[in-house]
Amino acid sequence: MSFNEEVIFRVRRHAGFVPQSSWIADVKEQLGMPVRGARNRSGARKRPCPPEKREAIIEAVRAALA
């Protein structure tokens, strides 16, 4: 299972929503984790993680790393 798939699974199970991959990338970037650049993106992210969903994604990322 890829890292993003595991995070999506954990968020869906614990928080009840499915995060977009751009939200996961935004959170990973803010946590200082390596993020690959998208070929079709230049500049800032168009869809950063909404503040109300950020905490659930951070918890899932930390749990996936453990």
Q: How high is the pLDDT of residue 18?
A: 97
Q: How high is the pLDDT of residue 61?
A: 97
First to last CA, the chain: 15
Q: How high is the pLDDT of residue 41?
A: 74
The two structure tokens encoding residue 5: 């798939």
Nearest residue to 53 via CA among 4, 2, 6, 22:
22
Q: What is the pTM of this model?
A: 0.88
Q: How high is the pLDDT of residue 8?
A: 97
Counting as low any pLDDT under 50, the low residues of the chain are none
Task: Name the residue with tokens 């800032």.
Answer: 44
Q: How high is the pLDDT of residue 35?
A: 86
